[in-house]
Amino acid sequence: MITCNSSGSVDSMVVGVDQRMIILSRIPKEDAALIQAYTEKHINTLHYTSLQTFHCFVEGRLKTYFLVGLDHKPIHYSTHEDFLMAKRIMAAAMKDGVSELAVMVDTLDMDVASLIDGLLYRNYEFTHYKTKAKSQTIRNINLITSSLKIKDFNTMCYVYTAIYEGIYVARDLVNMPPNDLTPRKFADIITSMVKGDNITIESLNKWALEKRKMGGIVAVGKGSMNPPQLLAIAYQGDPDSTAVLGVVGKGVTYDSGGISLKSHANLEFMKTDMAGAAAAVGVIRALMLLKYPVNVLAVLPLVENLPSSMSYHVDDIITMYDGKTVEIKNTDAEGRLILADAVTYAQEKGATRVIDLATLTGACVTALGTVRSGMVGNDQEWMNRLFNISERVHEKVWQFPADREYEEQLKSDVADLKNTGGSEAGAVTAGLFIKQFVKSDTAWIHLDIAGTAFCEKKDETGFVGATGVGIKSILELLKGGIQ
């Protein structure tokens, strides 16, 4: 929980320190004297990149101060640096075993939104499967201020708490092992989680998918004993509007590559191939708390891509939900197939704009690494909005080109399309494959989150695992309505 000026312990406190040492007049004299002596001896503590944990024992009480340096900030210092520092602060508090954390906001000279964002981003761990784990997450975060309007501050705290409720849900799903998150189990978990008066859920099983001739989802799911599912979750926040944002998330609960089997090294972390679907769920979960007056349809195609005697083959030709035929050139290029059917379905159900999220290609990771998600779309103004929003909420994206020449790579000699465009520009052609199933009058953005959805190794703050990327950007986009 994060609140403003609430009652609670101040034995663990975050404060800013610089040469002026304004903080010394705002804390007990005994503590101030000890901090003054410490900073005089360790002058680097005042530098803007510094974060020091300072313990002092005063009047029988152990107190902890997290000293954030403020001096010598460069002119072009960005709010993203504040976000990163906030993550470091939270990591230090978790490492120190703090249960309640007070933050003296007025002393920090930080962007308040980025501060809250970074604190909540890092205040997470996944210990569901550890039998003797003790949680290190901070139970209560108290933001202390005398200069900001308390009502506005608490509203901001509530909004970020709701957003991170959605992000934590998405992270939990992505971090789960594939034996506990089959397509059916995924659908069951979500169905029980997102119940509400303005929520409608439709669940299609394998037989319903076959009857509707959703050839992409059916083909990819054929090889597994766990049959495919499609889940459509409608959030209706504005019954009088016909504008609907379709959020389509790739939901491959485990991706072996199918007949085009991945190498041993590439099989690790393939439980994360449903991060797009998890993000779509996170958006809905947050909207249930935020109650934005918008209409959103989350469509989740859920499959396991496994090799067996029932698997679809290279050189198969399948018929998609919209009637197009696709020649299969690689069964490991499966995400675009299930997304194509799901995007078609979202439009059929009334989506006037569509964003799809997918851990789609290794080519995107090669191009952008783990810093930015890739973006392709058909509406430049809308993409510009999302680009600016993503920078502001610390979920960076980068736009790929979408020249017609790239689409030429998807032409097949024996079918309407083939499911790969070859080794060149793989992230671009994968996104443009999905475009073939988007109506000309539907604004569409594809986000390839292959590099940003999961931290395979601990970052500088010790964070590892699912990130929940994409949720903040979509919610910020929705805050301004569906345009």
Q: Are strands 353-358 and 245-249 parallel, antiparallel or unpaired?
A: parallel
Give the tens place of pLDDT for each residue, 124-147.
999 999 998 888 999 999 999 987
Give the tens place of pLDDT for each residue, 224-276.
999 999 999 999 999 999 999 999 999 999 999 999 999 998 999 999 999 99
- Mean of the pLDDT values across residues 205-229? 98
State how far the Cα of 84 lies from the Cα of 100, in Å rounded to an integer. Answer: 21
Structure confidence at residue 60 as a pLDDT band (50, 70, 90): confident
Q: With residue 470 as reference, give the H or E element that holds it.
A: none
pLDDT score at 354: 98
Q: Which amino acid is at 16?
A: G
Please count the other Cβ atoms lying within 10 Å of the Cβ belonging to residue 204.
Answer: 21
The first and second tokens of residue 224, run together, are 């597994």
Task: List, by residue number, the catalytic residues.
Answer: 262, 336
Share the mean pLDDT of the chain.
95
Structure confidence at residue 327 as a pLDDT band (50, 70, 90): very high
What's the whole-model pTM score? 0.97
pLDDT score at 9: 75
User: Which residues make up each annotated binding site?
Assistant: 250, 255, 273, 332, 334
State how far the Cα of 218 lies from the Cα of 39, in Å rounded to an integer. Answer: 64
User: Which residues make up each annotated binding site for Mn(2+)?
Assistant: 250, 255, 273, 332, 334
Angle between the 150-175 and 275-290 helix axes, to the nearest 10 degrees?
A: 150
Q: Which residues pair with 251 in a beta bridge?
A: 302
Give the tens place of pLDDT for each residue, 72-128.
989 888 999 999 999 999 999 999 999 999 999 999 999 999 999 999 999 999 999
13: pLDDT strictly greater than 80: yes
Q: With residue 266 as reference, give the H or E element that holds it.
A: helix 264-267
Range list of β-strands (E), 313-400? 317-319, 325-327, 353-358, 373-377, 397-399
Q: Which residues contact 379 (CB under 8 A, 6 or more apart)?
A: 443, 444, 445
pLDDT score at 420: 98
Query: Could you tell me the domains of the chain?
Result: 2-145 (3.40.220.10), 169-478 (3.40.630.10)
Is residue 308 within 8 Å of residue 282, measured between CB atoms?
Answer: no
pLDDT score at 20: 85
Which of 249, 471, 230, 466 minimizes the C-alpha distance to 354?
Answer: 249
Phi/psi of residue 134, each to 5°?
Answer: -110, 125
Give the tens place of pLDDT for each residue, 40-49.
999 999 999 9
State how far the Cα of 420 lies from the Cα of 332, in Å rounded to an integer. Answer: 10
Which of 278, 196, 189 minimizes the C-alpha distance to 234?
Answer: 196
pLDDT score at 76: 86
Exposure class string for 233-252: b at 16+ Cβ within 10 A, else e: bbbbbbeeeeebbbbbbbbb
Alpha helices per DSSP H over 52-147:
79-95, 112-122
pLDDT score at 25: 80
State how far the Cα of 235 lies from the Cα of 288, in Å rounded to an integer. Answer: 8
State how far the Cα of 89 lies from the Cα of 108, in Å rounded to an integer. Answer: 12
Q: With residue 446 as reference, give the H or E element that holds it.
A: strand 443-448
**Residue carrying the six token digits 């018929």:** 319
